[in-house]
Amino acid sequence: MVESSRIETAGAVAANAASAVGMGPAPRRIGTGYSQFVGLMKLVLPIIAAILIALVVIWPKLQPIEEGFRIGISSISPEEAENLYMMNARYMGLDERNQPFMITAEAATQASPESDLVVLELPKADIILADGVWLALAAESGVFHRTDQTLDLLGSVNIFHDAGYEFRTPSAHVDLSAGTAQGNDPVVGQGPFGILRAEGFRLFDGGARILFTGKARLVLYSGFEQLD
């Protein structure tokens, strides 16, 4: 009896020791409830992913676009509202000899469609003669008279001839129909001949002839003497 009791006691001690070091009874098997949960997630997660992808594609189309140009309301005077305003304006025509000319401007303002005057910002006029000669005029501002096809240029007027002549003057009156231009303000010019200063100018035949008026001073390049 004593020996049997010792054996049982030793077995109990061994069982307690095994429990202390983690050698407990075998774990339980995973229940059917967990398996059902995993199966459900395999079905639900792809559906949720598809919905999120659809929202990423569709959502920007449902929201108003924040970038890009916006149309705002600005306060303008009644006079400005009544005027006709055009950006990058262009006008083409023919002179008395059926030679083409063109007027361009960064902006053009006209009081009404019936108005004869068109106010131009940074106007440029190009005249092409029958023999292919090209004449260009540019200024800070100008007024175009539609009826008689004349152009009044103001501020840093630049006249350029494709033969290499260039003249600068504060103002000029250009008759596009007749192919003439004139000015009564001081003129400074340069070209293959040299440098010229005068009190005015007259341009004929689209630049084929140029007459300098008033006191004129010409400084010729090498090989020529100075003329007064």
Q: Which domains does the chain have, with CATH numbers?
A: 88-220 (2.60.450.10)
Percent with pLDDT over 90 in the chain: 30
Query: For position 174, what pLDDT does the model report?
Result: 93
DSSP 8-class letter at 198: E
Check pLDDT > 60 for residue 35.
yes
Rounded Cα distance between 226 and 62, Å, is 78
Sign of CA dihedral 35, 37, 38, 42: positive
DSSP 8-class letter at 140: S
Nearest Cα to Cα of residue 180 among 204, 211, 214: 204
- For the ranges 106-115, 118-127, 218-227, which has the lowest average pLDDT? 218-227
Query: For position 187, what pLDDT does the model report?
Result: 95
Rounded Cα distance between 133 and 20, Å, is 111
CA angle 94, 99, 100 (to 5 degrees): 55
Check pLDDT > 90 for residue 105.
yes
> What's the mean pLDDT in 188-203?
91
- Which residues 6+ apart lie within 8 Å of 123 measured at CB? 103, 104, 105, 138, 139, 141, 142, 144, 151, 153
> What's the mean pLDDT in 166-188?
93
Residue 94's pLDDT band, with cuts at 50, 70 and 90, is confident
Query: For position 71, what pLDDT does the model report?
Result: 38
